[in-house]
Homo-oligomer: A and B are copies of this chain.
Amino acid sequence: MIPDTLSAGQYNTVYNFLSLVIASQLFAALFMLIALPRILPRYRQAITIAIIVCGIAAYHYFRIFDSFKAAFVTDSVGGTGTYTQAVGEGFNEGYRYVDWFLTVPLLLVELIAVLALARSVSRRLMMQLVPAAALMIALGYPGEISGDNGIRAIFGLLSTIPFLFILYVLFVQLGKSLERQPVSVRKTLSRLRFLLLLSWGVYPIAYLLPLLNIAGSDAWVFKQVGYSVADILAKAVYGLIIFYVARRKSFEDDAAFAAIEESKDEAPALR
């Protein structure tokens, strides 16, 4: 539930963080779109998905931003006083779930696609990860919209099952495939899984706040900021790291491409 009132400082904090997310997602997407020819065609499908993920997030943050602006009003001059809930308007948290429902499966597709594994291995991993990710989000939603803590706990628990399965696939099954990746990107790819784990960790913490009886405007502001930072890390920063991996792999796959794309000092033999 959203708080009845926010101080001007709280209101501005949420407002500015929401705008930061829009800028991050939109321009991460734009950067990758412009830089798409800077990687080999075989990695462009992965980066196209990264662009789409950031685009979907930008769309939803535009909506969240507008919903937030409409949900609170102040009658002070210059907006320096207290903000109270507006009549006839709610703050729609549903946008976040719609966003995650579309983007979380795609984030995993993005990771598998950049590995450029054999088709059969790639397909098997996606058939495991994509339904699990969609199920994880879909099971969280009934708990999120319920005012009842028991229902919240049950759906939170159900949602944890596909989450643990995803971790198993990423950290156990994927391990073998990572060993076959070029040395220059192996560590980055391995750490990328921890970035996912770290940023995704924010969501269950926010989900648990009502169960822990943590409420009030400070907790709500903290939750909005936490979601914002997590969405920047898990989508924009994550996408840019995937782009970096795709670029490094492009250079290792094709020395002629590297000679054109890299600085002269890097490819002396071909100059």
Contacts and interface: CB of A to CB of B under 8 A. Distances in A.
Number of copies of this kind of chain in the complex: 2
Interface residues of A, number: 73
Interface string A3-22: 00000110010011001101
A206 interface: no
B74 A119 contact: no
A42 B270 CA distance: 14
A38 interface: yes
Contacts of A30: 51-52, 55
Contacts of A8: 90
Nearest to A78: B85
A38 B35 contact: no
A34 B34 contact: no
A49 interface: yes
A255 B190 CA distance: 33
A191 interface: no
Given A116-B264, A263-B42, A27 B90 contact: no
A60 interface: yes
A266 B118 contact: yes
A31 B16 contact: no
A16 B95 contact: yes
A264 B74 CA distance: 60
Interface in A57-101: 59-60, 63, 71, 73-80, 85-92, 94-95, 97-99, 101
A16 B118 contact: no
A45 B56 contact: no
Interface string A24-39: 1011001101111110
A144 to B, nearest CB: 11
Given A42-B262, A52-B30, A263-B118, A88 B75 contact: yes
Nearest first, the 10 closest Cβ-Cβ pairs linking A and B are: A79-B90, A116-B263, A16-B94, A118-B265, A78-B85, A20-B98, A77-B85, A34-B48, A31-B52, A41-B260
Given A38-B45, A42-B263, 14 more contacts: A2-B78, A12-B94, A15-B92, A16-B92, A16-B95, A23-B59, A26-B59, A35-B45, A35-B48, A38-B41, A78-B89, A79-B91, A117-B265, A253-B264
